[in-house]
Amino acid sequence: MRGPHNIIRLIRTGATLERTGAMGVIMDAMDAPPLVRGTLRFLAWPFQWLGLKGDPNMPPATRALTALGPAYIKFGQILSTRPDLVGDELATQMRVLQDKLPPFDIDVAKASIEQELGQPIEAMFDDFSPPVAAASIAQVHKATLRKTGDSVAVKVLRPGIERAFRVDIDAFYFAANMIEFLSPAARRLHPTEVIAHFEGVVMGELDLRLEASSASEFASNTTGDAGFQLPGIQWDHCSRRVMTMDWADGAPLGDNAAIDAAGHDRVVLGDRVLQLFLSHALRDGYFHADMHQGNLKVAPNGNIIAYDFGIMGHIDEYTRRVYAEILYGFIKRDYRRVAEVHFEAGYVPANRDVDEFARALRAVGEPIFGMDASQISMGSLLSYLFEVTERFGMETRTELILLQRTMVVVEGVARSLNPQINIWQVARPVVEDYIRQSLGPRALAQSLGRTAMVLSRFGPRLPQLVESALIRASAPTPEPPRRRRRDLAVCGVSGAILGAGVLAACLALL
Protein backbone atom coordinates (compact mmCIF):
# COMPACT_ATOMS: atom_id res chain seq x y z
CA MET A 1 0.00 0.00 0.00
CA ARG A 2 3.02 2.34 0.29
CA GLY A 3 2.79 3.78 -3.21
CA PRO A 4 2.25 7.17 -4.83
CA HIS A 5 -1.50 6.82 -4.33
CA ASN A 6 -0.87 7.92 -0.73
CA ILE A 7 -0.36 11.39 -2.12
CA ILE A 8 -4.15 11.72 -2.11
CA ARG A 9 -4.18 11.16 1.63
CA LEU A 10 -1.53 13.83 2.14
CA ILE A 11 -3.34 16.30 -0.09
CA ARG A 12 -6.50 15.63 1.90
CA THR A 13 -4.63 16.37 5.12
CA GLY A 14 -3.72 19.88 4.02
CA ALA A 15 -7.09 20.39 2.35
CA THR A 16 -8.95 19.38 5.52
CA LEU A 17 -6.90 21.74 7.66
CA GLU A 18 -7.68 24.56 5.23
CA ARG A 19 -11.37 23.73 4.74
CA THR A 20 -12.11 23.54 8.47
CA GLY A 21 -10.14 26.70 9.24
CA ALA A 22 -7.63 24.70 11.29
CA MET A 23 -4.64 25.65 9.13
CA GLY A 24 -4.73 29.28 10.18
CA VAL A 25 -5.56 28.47 13.81
CA ILE A 26 -2.62 26.07 14.19
CA MET A 27 -0.21 28.35 12.32
CA ASP A 28 -1.25 31.28 14.55
CA ALA A 29 -0.98 29.25 17.76
CA MET A 30 2.49 27.95 16.87
CA ASP A 31 3.61 31.38 15.61
CA ALA A 32 4.70 29.95 12.25
CA PRO A 33 6.99 32.16 10.14
CA PRO A 34 5.20 34.13 7.39
CA LEU A 35 6.96 32.20 4.61
CA VAL A 36 5.84 28.82 6.01
CA ARG A 37 2.35 30.11 6.71
CA GLY A 38 1.93 31.62 3.24
CA THR A 39 3.37 28.62 1.40
CA LEU A 40 1.14 26.08 3.12
CA ARG A 41 -1.98 28.21 2.71
CA PHE A 42 -1.16 28.80 -0.98
CA LEU A 43 -0.64 25.08 -1.66
CA ALA A 44 -3.72 23.98 0.32
CA TRP A 45 -6.22 26.44 -1.11
CA PRO A 46 -6.75 24.79 -4.55
CA PHE A 47 -7.48 21.42 -2.89
CA GLN A 48 -10.07 22.60 -0.36
CA TRP A 49 -12.83 20.68 -2.11
CA LEU A 50 -10.99 17.43 -1.25
CA GLY A 51 -10.94 18.26 2.46
CA LEU A 52 -13.13 16.50 5.00
CA LYS A 53 -15.91 18.60 6.55
CA GLY A 54 -15.73 17.18 10.07
CA ASP A 55 -18.20 18.12 12.80
CA PRO A 56 -19.06 21.84 12.42
CA ASN A 57 -19.99 21.97 16.12
CA MET A 58 -16.33 21.43 17.07
CA PRO A 59 -13.64 24.12 17.09
CA PRO A 60 -11.59 24.17 13.84
CA ALA A 61 -8.45 22.29 14.98
CA THR A 62 -10.35 19.62 16.90
CA ARG A 63 -12.78 19.29 14.00
CA ALA A 64 -9.98 18.73 11.47
CA LEU A 65 -7.93 16.25 13.50
CA THR A 66 -11.01 14.23 14.46
CA ALA A 67 -12.09 14.03 10.82
CA LEU A 68 -8.62 12.94 9.66
CA GLY A 69 -8.51 9.89 11.91
CA PRO A 70 -6.76 8.23 14.86
CA ALA A 71 -3.13 9.03 14.04
CA TYR A 72 -3.93 12.74 13.76
CA ILE A 73 -5.94 12.55 16.97
CA LYS A 74 -2.79 11.25 18.67
CA PHE A 75 -1.00 14.37 17.47
CA GLY A 76 -3.78 16.53 18.90
CA GLN A 77 -3.53 14.74 22.24
CA ILE A 78 0.11 15.76 22.48
CA LEU A 79 -0.66 19.38 21.60
CA SER A 80 -3.40 19.46 24.26
CA THR A 81 -0.74 19.04 26.95
CA ARG A 82 1.39 21.95 25.71
CA PRO A 83 -0.41 25.28 26.29
CA ASP A 84 3.04 26.90 26.36
CA LEU A 85 3.49 25.89 22.70
CA VAL A 86 0.00 26.36 21.26
CA GLY A 87 -1.69 28.66 23.78
CA ASP A 88 -4.26 27.96 26.48
CA GLU A 89 -7.28 28.26 24.19
CA LEU A 90 -6.14 25.75 21.58
CA ALA A 91 -4.81 23.34 24.22
CA THR A 92 -8.17 23.41 26.02
CA GLN A 93 -10.04 22.79 22.76
CA MET A 94 -7.86 19.79 21.95
CA ARG A 95 -8.20 18.25 25.39
CA VAL A 96 -11.49 16.64 24.31
CA LEU A 97 -9.36 14.42 22.04
CA GLN A 98 -7.99 12.63 25.09
CA ASP A 99 -11.13 10.78 26.18
CA LYS A 100 -14.20 12.70 24.99
CA LEU A 101 -14.46 11.67 21.34
CA PRO A 102 -17.79 10.48 19.90
CA PRO A 103 -18.38 6.87 21.08
CA PHE A 104 -19.56 4.03 18.90
CA ASP A 105 -22.84 2.21 19.55
CA ILE A 106 -23.10 0.21 22.79
CA ASP A 107 -24.67 -2.75 20.97
CA VAL A 108 -21.62 -2.93 18.70
CA ALA A 109 -19.39 -2.90 21.79
CA LYS A 110 -21.40 -5.68 23.46
CA ALA A 111 -21.32 -7.83 20.33
CA SER A 112 -17.54 -7.41 20.07
CA ILE A 113 -17.05 -8.34 23.74
CA GLU A 114 -19.27 -11.41 23.46
CA GLN A 115 -17.44 -12.57 20.35
CA GLU A 116 -14.02 -12.05 21.95
CA LEU A 117 -14.79 -13.60 25.36
CA GLY A 118 -17.18 -16.28 24.16
CA GLN A 119 -19.95 -15.54 26.67
CA PRO A 120 -23.12 -13.43 26.75
CA ILE A 121 -22.74 -10.05 28.44
CA GLU A 122 -25.35 -11.06 31.04
CA ALA A 123 -23.26 -14.08 32.07
CA MET A 124 -20.21 -11.91 32.78
CA PHE A 125 -21.59 -8.60 34.08
CA ASP A 126 -24.55 -7.53 36.20
CA ASP A 127 -24.40 -3.96 34.97
CA PHE A 128 -22.92 -2.62 31.76
CA SER A 129 -23.04 1.15 31.33
CA PRO A 130 -23.01 3.31 28.21
CA PRO A 131 -19.51 4.52 27.25
CA VAL A 132 -17.89 6.59 30.01
CA ALA A 133 -14.84 7.55 27.91
CA ALA A 134 -14.03 7.37 24.22
CA ALA A 135 -10.57 7.90 22.76
CA SER A 136 -8.95 7.46 19.36
CA ILE A 137 -8.51 3.69 19.57
CA ALA A 138 -11.01 2.35 22.08
CA GLN A 139 -13.81 3.25 24.46
CA VAL A 140 -14.49 2.27 28.07
CA HIS A 141 -17.63 1.03 29.80
CA LYS A 142 -18.21 0.69 33.54
CA ALA A 143 -19.54 -2.69 34.59
CA THR A 144 -19.99 -4.96 37.63
CA LEU A 145 -18.51 -8.44 37.62
CA ARG A 146 -21.20 -11.06 38.18
CA LYS A 147 -18.82 -13.40 40.05
CA THR A 148 -17.42 -10.93 42.59
CA GLY A 149 -19.59 -7.80 42.48
CA ASP A 150 -16.48 -5.66 41.88
CA SER A 151 -16.72 -2.55 39.71
CA VAL A 152 -14.54 -2.79 36.60
CA ALA A 153 -13.65 -0.81 33.49
CA VAL A 154 -14.14 -2.73 30.23
CA LYS A 155 -12.08 -1.41 27.33
CA VAL A 156 -13.03 -2.43 23.79
CA LEU A 157 -11.36 -1.46 20.51
CA ARG A 158 -13.23 0.62 17.95
CA PRO A 159 -14.53 -1.40 14.98
CA GLY A 160 -12.22 -1.16 11.97
CA ILE A 161 -9.52 0.69 13.93
CA GLU A 162 -6.74 -1.55 12.60
CA ARG A 163 -7.46 -0.59 8.99
CA ALA A 164 -7.84 3.09 9.87
CA PHE A 165 -4.37 3.17 11.41
CA ARG A 166 -2.94 1.19 8.52
CA VAL A 167 -4.12 3.84 6.06
CA ASP A 168 -2.60 6.67 8.12
CA ILE A 169 0.70 4.88 8.69
CA ASP A 170 1.05 4.13 4.98
CA ALA A 171 0.52 7.82 4.23
CA PHE A 172 3.09 8.74 6.89
CA TYR A 173 5.62 6.42 5.26
CA PHE A 174 5.01 8.11 1.94
CA ALA A 175 5.41 11.54 3.58
CA ALA A 176 8.68 10.43 5.19
CA ASN A 177 10.00 9.21 1.83
CA MET A 178 9.01 12.52 0.24
CA ILE A 179 10.75 14.50 2.99
CA GLU A 180 13.95 12.50 2.41
CA PHE A 181 13.63 12.90 -1.38
CA LEU A 182 12.92 16.63 -1.36
CA SER A 183 15.22 17.61 1.52
CA PRO A 184 18.51 15.70 1.80
CA ALA A 185 19.31 17.74 4.93
CA ALA A 186 16.32 16.15 6.67
CA ARG A 187 17.71 12.63 6.24
CA ARG A 188 19.72 12.98 9.44
CA LEU A 189 16.36 12.91 11.27
CA HIS A 190 15.63 9.44 9.84
CA PRO A 191 11.94 10.16 9.20
CA THR A 192 11.34 6.67 7.79
CA GLU A 193 12.81 5.06 10.91
CA VAL A 194 10.70 7.35 13.07
CA ILE A 195 7.54 6.15 11.32
CA ALA A 196 8.67 2.53 11.59
CA HIS A 197 9.09 3.04 15.33
CA PHE A 198 5.67 4.67 15.56
CA GLU A 199 4.16 1.78 13.58
CA GLY A 200 5.56 -0.76 16.04
CA VAL A 201 4.15 1.17 18.98
CA VAL A 202 0.71 1.52 17.42
CA MET A 203 0.47 -2.12 16.38
CA GLY A 204 1.23 -3.11 19.97
CA GLU A 205 -1.47 -0.75 21.21
CA LEU A 206 -4.02 -2.54 19.03
CA ASP A 207 -3.59 -5.84 20.91
CA LEU A 208 -5.14 -5.41 24.35
CA ARG A 209 -3.52 -8.62 25.62
CA LEU A 210 -0.19 -6.87 25.31
CA GLU A 211 -1.59 -3.86 27.14
CA ALA A 212 -2.74 -6.09 30.01
CA SER A 213 0.73 -7.65 30.16
CA SER A 214 2.33 -4.20 30.19
CA ALA A 215 0.07 -3.11 33.06
CA SER A 216 1.05 -6.18 35.06
CA GLU A 217 4.79 -5.59 34.54
CA PHE A 218 4.44 -1.89 35.33
CA ALA A 219 2.58 -2.72 38.54
CA SER A 220 5.38 -5.09 39.61
CA ASN A 221 7.98 -2.37 39.11
CA THR A 222 6.08 0.38 40.94
CA THR A 223 4.62 -1.47 43.94
CA GLY A 224 6.66 0.55 46.43
CA ASP A 225 6.21 3.98 44.81
CA ALA A 226 4.61 6.39 47.28
CA GLY A 227 1.68 8.38 45.96
CA PHE A 228 1.15 6.14 42.94
CA GLN A 229 -1.23 3.28 42.21
CA LEU A 230 -2.47 1.19 39.29
CA PRO A 231 -5.74 -0.69 38.76
CA GLY A 232 -5.56 -4.50 38.81
CA ILE A 233 -6.13 -6.59 35.67
CA GLN A 234 -9.01 -9.11 35.42
CA TRP A 235 -7.18 -11.63 33.24
CA ASP A 236 -10.16 -13.94 32.69
CA HIS A 237 -11.98 -11.07 30.96
CA CYS A 238 -9.20 -10.03 28.57
CA SER A 239 -8.57 -10.83 24.90
CA ARG A 240 -7.03 -9.20 21.82
CA ARG A 241 -9.81 -6.61 21.49
CA VAL A 242 -11.10 -6.48 25.09
CA MET A 243 -9.38 -5.66 28.39
CA THR A 244 -10.99 -5.53 31.83
CA MET A 245 -9.40 -3.88 34.86
CA ASP A 246 -10.50 -2.69 38.30
CA TRP A 247 -12.46 0.55 38.33
CA ALA A 248 -10.44 3.55 39.55
CA ASP A 249 -12.34 6.36 41.27
CA GLY A 250 -10.79 9.82 41.33
CA ALA A 251 -10.70 13.33 39.92
CA PRO A 252 -9.35 13.65 36.35
CA LEU A 253 -5.87 15.15 36.40
CA GLY A 254 -6.95 17.62 33.74
CA ASP A 255 -9.81 19.05 35.85
CA ASN A 256 -8.16 21.61 38.13
CA ALA A 257 -11.51 22.72 39.58
CA ALA A 258 -12.34 19.15 40.68
CA ILE A 259 -8.83 18.69 42.10
CA ASP A 260 -9.12 21.92 44.10
CA ALA A 261 -12.61 21.00 45.30
CA ALA A 262 -11.28 17.67 46.58
CA GLY A 263 -8.63 19.51 48.59
CA HIS A 264 -5.56 18.24 46.73
CA ASP A 265 -2.39 20.33 46.41
CA ARG A 266 -1.75 20.89 42.70
CA VAL A 267 1.84 21.99 43.29
CA VAL A 268 2.57 18.66 44.98
CA LEU A 269 0.79 16.75 42.22
CA GLY A 270 2.73 18.60 39.50
CA ASP A 271 6.04 17.74 41.14
CA ARG A 272 4.97 14.14 41.72
CA VAL A 273 3.88 13.38 38.15
CA LEU A 274 7.23 14.61 36.80
CA GLN A 275 9.29 12.80 39.42
CA LEU A 276 7.37 9.55 38.96
CA PHE A 277 8.00 9.58 35.23
CA LEU A 278 11.74 10.23 35.68
CA SER A 279 11.96 7.56 38.37
CA HIS A 280 10.29 4.95 36.18
CA ALA A 281 12.40 5.86 33.15
CA LEU A 282 15.76 5.97 34.95
CA ARG A 283 15.31 3.39 37.70
CA ASP A 284 13.33 0.77 35.78
CA GLY A 285 13.90 1.65 32.14
CA TYR A 286 10.16 0.97 31.70
CA PHE A 287 7.69 3.84 31.75
CA HIS A 288 4.17 4.88 30.83
CA ALA A 289 4.63 6.59 27.47
CA ASP A 290 1.15 8.12 27.11
CA MET A 291 0.87 10.16 30.31
CA HIS A 292 -1.57 12.85 29.20
CA GLN A 293 -4.36 14.05 31.50
CA GLY A 294 -6.88 11.66 29.98
CA ASN A 295 -4.90 8.70 31.34
CA LEU A 296 -4.36 10.02 34.88
CA LYS A 297 -6.60 10.52 37.92
CA VAL A 298 -6.15 11.66 41.50
CA ALA A 299 -7.52 9.18 44.05
CA PRO A 300 -9.38 10.44 47.16
CA ASN A 301 -6.22 9.68 49.19
CA GLY A 302 -4.14 11.91 46.90
CA ASN A 303 -2.43 9.11 44.96
CA ILE A 304 -1.93 9.53 41.22
CA ILE A 305 -3.68 6.71 39.33
CA ALA A 306 -2.42 5.79 35.87
CA TYR A 307 -4.27 3.68 33.33
CA ASP A 308 -4.31 2.98 29.58
CA PHE A 309 -1.06 1.07 29.13
CA GLY A 310 -1.16 0.69 25.36
CA ILE A 311 2.06 2.66 24.86
CA MET A 312 4.93 1.80 27.18
CA GLY A 313 8.54 2.86 26.74
CA HIS A 314 11.69 0.81 27.34
CA ILE A 315 15.30 2.00 27.38
CA ASP A 316 18.36 -0.10 28.16
CA GLU A 317 20.69 0.53 31.06
CA TYR A 318 23.43 2.20 29.02
CA THR A 319 20.99 4.66 27.43
CA ARG A 320 19.52 5.43 30.87
CA ARG A 321 22.96 6.33 32.16
CA VAL A 322 23.62 8.57 29.17
CA TYR A 323 20.24 10.28 29.60
CA ALA A 324 20.83 10.75 33.33
CA GLU A 325 24.29 12.25 32.77
CA ILE A 326 22.87 14.69 30.24
CA LEU A 327 20.09 15.74 32.61
CA TYR A 328 22.52 15.96 35.53
CA GLY A 329 24.92 18.07 33.48
CA PHE A 330 22.13 20.53 32.66
CA ILE A 331 21.05 20.61 36.30
CA LYS A 332 24.65 21.32 37.42
CA ARG A 333 25.11 23.70 34.47
CA ASP A 334 28.16 21.67 33.44
CA TYR A 335 27.69 22.10 29.69
CA ARG A 336 31.17 20.80 28.91
CA ARG A 337 30.25 17.45 30.48
CA VAL A 338 26.90 17.40 28.66
CA ALA A 339 28.75 17.91 25.38
CA GLU A 340 31.28 15.17 26.23
CA VAL A 341 28.47 12.71 26.98
CA HIS A 342 26.93 13.40 23.57
CA PHE A 343 30.26 12.65 21.90
CA GLU A 344 30.96 9.55 24.03
CA ALA A 345 27.54 8.11 23.19
CA GLY A 346 28.01 8.81 19.49
CA TYR A 347 25.09 11.24 19.35
CA VAL A 348 27.34 13.87 17.73
CA PRO A 349 29.89 13.03 14.99
CA ALA A 350 33.43 12.80 16.36
CA ASN A 351 34.76 15.36 13.87
CA ARG A 352 32.76 18.18 15.50
CA ASP A 353 34.23 20.57 18.06
CA VAL A 354 33.26 19.64 21.62
CA ASP A 355 33.91 23.12 23.01
CA GLU A 356 31.76 24.77 20.38
CA PHE A 357 28.98 22.25 21.07
CA ALA A 358 29.22 22.99 24.81
CA ARG A 359 28.80 26.70 24.13
CA ALA A 360 25.73 25.99 22.00
CA LEU A 361 24.26 23.87 24.80
CA ARG A 362 24.88 26.69 27.27
CA ALA A 363 22.70 28.95 25.12
CA VAL A 364 19.94 26.34 25.40
CA GLY A 365 20.23 25.70 29.14
CA GLU A 366 21.08 29.06 30.70
CA PRO A 367 17.72 30.77 30.03
CA ILE A 368 16.06 28.12 32.21
CA PHE A 369 17.88 28.93 35.42
CA GLY A 370 16.78 31.78 37.63
CA MET A 371 13.43 32.08 35.87
CA ASP A 372 10.00 30.74 36.68
CA ALA A 373 8.25 28.58 34.11
CA SER A 374 5.85 31.31 33.00
CA GLN A 375 8.80 33.34 31.65
CA ILE A 376 10.30 30.52 29.61
CA SER A 377 9.22 30.14 25.98
CA MET A 378 9.48 26.39 25.40
CA GLY A 379 8.72 27.04 21.74
CA SER A 380 11.81 29.24 21.43
CA LEU A 381 13.95 26.74 23.34
CA LEU A 382 12.83 23.81 21.18
CA SER A 383 13.36 25.85 18.03
CA TYR A 384 16.91 26.79 19.05
CA LEU A 385 17.70 23.26 20.18
CA PHE A 386 16.64 21.98 16.76
CA GLU A 387 18.99 24.51 15.13
CA VAL A 388 21.81 23.26 17.37
CA THR A 389 21.22 19.61 16.49
CA GLU A 390 21.12 20.44 12.78
CA ARG A 391 24.27 22.50 13.01
CA PHE A 392 26.23 19.71 14.69
CA GLY A 393 24.87 16.86 12.56
CA MET A 394 23.03 15.04 15.33
CA GLU A 395 20.84 12.24 14.03
CA THR A 396 17.47 11.10 15.32
CA ARG A 397 17.84 8.38 17.97
CA THR A 398 14.82 6.13 17.44
CA GLU A 399 15.35 4.43 20.81
CA LEU A 400 14.80 7.79 22.51
CA ILE A 401 11.72 8.92 20.57
CA LEU A 402 9.19 7.72 23.15
CA LEU A 403 11.31 9.02 26.02
CA GLN A 404 11.62 12.47 24.46
CA ARG A 405 7.97 12.63 23.43
CA THR A 406 6.76 11.49 26.86
CA MET A 407 8.99 14.05 28.57
CA VAL A 408 7.26 16.74 26.51
CA VAL A 409 3.81 15.41 27.45
CA VAL A 410 4.61 14.97 31.16
CA GLU A 411 6.06 18.44 31.39
CA GLY A 412 2.86 19.76 29.83
CA VAL A 413 0.75 17.89 32.41
CA ALA A 414 2.90 19.22 35.25
CA ARG A 415 2.58 22.78 33.93
CA SER A 416 -1.20 22.45 33.70
CA LEU A 417 -1.23 21.68 37.44
CA ASN A 418 1.38 24.26 38.41
CA PRO A 419 2.26 26.87 35.76
CA GLN A 420 5.21 28.05 37.89
CA ILE A 421 6.92 24.65 38.08
CA ASN A 422 10.67 24.59 37.46
CA ILE A 423 11.33 21.26 35.79
CA TRP A 424 15.04 21.26 36.61
CA GLN A 425 14.56 21.83 40.34
CA VAL A 426 11.89 19.14 40.50
CA ALA A 427 13.96 16.67 38.47
CA ARG A 428 17.16 17.21 40.45
CA PRO A 429 16.59 14.82 43.42
CA VAL A 430 15.49 11.96 41.17
CA VAL A 431 18.41 12.34 38.80
CA GLU A 432 20.95 12.78 41.60
CA ASP A 433 19.66 9.63 43.32
CA TYR A 434 19.99 7.67 40.10
CA ILE A 435 23.50 9.02 39.56
CA ARG A 436 24.51 7.88 43.06
CA GLN A 437 22.97 4.44 42.55
CA SER A 438 24.16 3.80 38.99
CA LEU A 439 27.38 5.76 38.44
CA GLY A 440 29.10 5.51 41.81
CA PRO A 441 31.67 2.97 43.12
CA ARG A 442 28.99 0.44 44.05
CA ALA A 443 27.51 0.55 40.53
CA LEU A 444 31.00 0.14 39.04
CA ALA A 445 31.62 -2.94 41.17
CA GLN A 446 28.27 -4.42 40.12
CA SER A 447 29.04 -3.79 36.44
CA LEU A 448 32.45 -5.44 36.77
CA GLY A 449 30.81 -8.38 38.51
CA ARG A 450 28.29 -8.84 35.70
CA THR A 451 31.09 -8.56 33.11
CA ALA A 452 33.08 -11.24 34.92
CA MET A 453 30.06 -13.55 34.93
CA VAL A 454 29.60 -13.12 31.18
CA LEU A 455 33.31 -13.78 30.56
CA SER A 456 33.17 -16.89 32.72
CA ARG A 457 30.31 -18.28 30.64
CA PHE A 458 31.87 -17.47 27.26
CA GLY A 459 35.53 -17.84 28.27
CA PRO A 460 36.21 -21.07 26.34
CA ARG A 461 34.63 -19.57 23.19
CA LEU A 462 36.35 -16.17 23.33
CA PRO A 463 39.23 -17.04 20.92
CA GLN A 464 36.77 -18.36 18.34
CA LEU A 465 34.50 -15.31 18.73
CA VAL A 466 37.42 -12.88 18.34
CA GLU A 467 38.70 -14.73 15.26
CA SER A 468 35.22 -14.65 13.65
CA ALA A 469 34.90 -10.94 14.36
CA LEU A 470 38.28 -10.19 12.80
CA ILE A 471 37.40 -12.19 9.67
CA ARG A 472 34.13 -10.30 9.26
CA ALA A 473 35.87 -6.95 9.82
CA SER A 474 38.49 -7.67 7.15
CA ALA A 475 35.94 -8.87 4.56
CA PRO A 476 35.17 -6.38 1.75
CA THR A 477 31.98 -4.40 2.25
CA PRO A 478 29.40 -5.14 -0.46
CA GLU A 479 28.05 -2.23 -2.44
CA PRO A 480 24.69 -1.14 -1.01
CA PRO A 481 21.83 -1.45 -3.47
CA ARG A 482 20.83 1.81 -5.06
CA ARG A 483 17.66 3.26 -3.59
CA ARG A 484 14.82 3.00 -6.02
CA ARG A 485 13.13 6.31 -6.64
CA ARG A 486 9.40 6.21 -6.94
CA ASP A 487 7.92 7.57 -10.16
CA LEU A 488 5.78 10.54 -9.26
CA ALA A 489 3.17 12.01 -11.54
CA VAL A 490 3.94 15.64 -12.33
CA CYS A 491 0.47 16.74 -11.30
CA GLY A 492 0.98 15.22 -7.84
CA VAL A 493 4.25 16.89 -6.86
CA SER A 494 2.66 20.03 -5.42
CA GLY A 495 0.32 17.87 -3.35
CA ALA A 496 3.24 15.80 -2.08
CA ILE A 497 5.10 18.94 -1.03
CA LEU A 498 1.97 20.15 0.75
CA GLY A 499 1.45 16.86 2.57
CA ALA A 500 5.10 16.53 3.52
CA GLY A 501 5.20 20.09 4.77
CA VAL A 502 2.08 19.73 6.89
CA LEU A 503 3.15 16.38 8.30
CA ALA A 504 6.80 17.17 8.98
CA ALA A 505 5.97 18.89 12.26
CA CYS A 506 3.47 16.15 13.16
CA LEU A 507 6.01 13.38 12.62
CA ALA A 508 8.55 15.04 14.89
CA LEU A 509 6.09 14.89 17.81
CA LEU A 510 4.47 11.59 16.98
Cβ proximity of 177 and 170 under 8 Å? no
The backbone region for 263, taken as left when phi is positive above 0, alpha when psi lies in -120 to 50, beta otherwise, is: left
| Annotation says 31 is catalytic | no
Q: Helix H segments across 69-160?
A: 70-80, 83-86, 88-94, 96-99, 106-117, 121-124
What pLDDT was estimated at residue 403?
Answer: 79
DSSP letter string, 299-319: -TTS-EEE---SSEEE--HHH
Cβ proximity of 146 and 126 under 8 Å? yes
Looking at 176-302, which runs of residues are DSSP E strands?
228-229, 242-246, 251-252, 286-288, 296-298
Per the DSSP assignment, residues forming a β-bridge with 506 are none
What pLDDT was estimated at residue 503?
Answer: 39
Q: Which amino acid is at 89?
A: E
Q: Shortest CA distance to 86 belongs to which of 73, 71, 75?
A: 75
Cβ proximity of 342 and 357 under 8 Å? yes
Q: Shortest CA distance to 170 belongs to which of 11, 40, 60, 9?
A: 9
Per the DSSP assignment, residues forming a β-bridge with 297 are 252, 305
- DSSP secondary structure letter of residue 100: B
The tens digit of pLDDT for each residue in 477-507 reads 555 444 443 433 333 333 333 343 443 444 3
Q: Shortest CA distance to 97 belongs to which of 296, 323, 365, 292?
A: 292
What pLDDT was estimated at residue 94?
Answer: 76
Phi, psi dihedrals of residue 67, rounded to the nearest 5°: -65, -35
Q: Rounded to an integer, what distance in angstroms lies between the CA atom of residue 212 and that of residue 222?
A: 15
Q: Rounded to an integer, what distance in angstroms lies between the CA atom of residue 287 and that of residue 475?
A: 41
What pLDDT was estimated at residue 379?
Answer: 47
Cβ proximity of 249 and 257 under 8 Å? no
- For the chain, the C-alpha Rg in angstroms (whole number) is 24
Cβ proximity of 280 and 286 under 8 Å? yes
What pLDDT was estimated at residue 380?
Answer: 53
Phi, psi dihedrals of residue 100, rounded to the nearest 5°: -125, 35
The tens digit of pLDDT for each residue in 49-95 reads 778 888 888 888 888 888 888 878 877 776 666 665 666 677 777 77
In order along the chain (510 residues), what is the average pLDDT of each group of 10 residues?
66 84 75 68 74 85 85 73 66 71 90 94 93 87 94 94 82 77 66 75 83 94 93 94 94 92 94 93 90 90 92 86 82 87 85 90 76 55 62 68 76 87 83 79 64 66 73 64 39 38 40
**H or E segment and range at residue 128:** strand 125-134
- The residue from 290, 334, 372, 487 that is catalytic is 290
Length of the chain in residues, anyone?
510
What pLDDT was estimated at residue 485?
Answer: 39
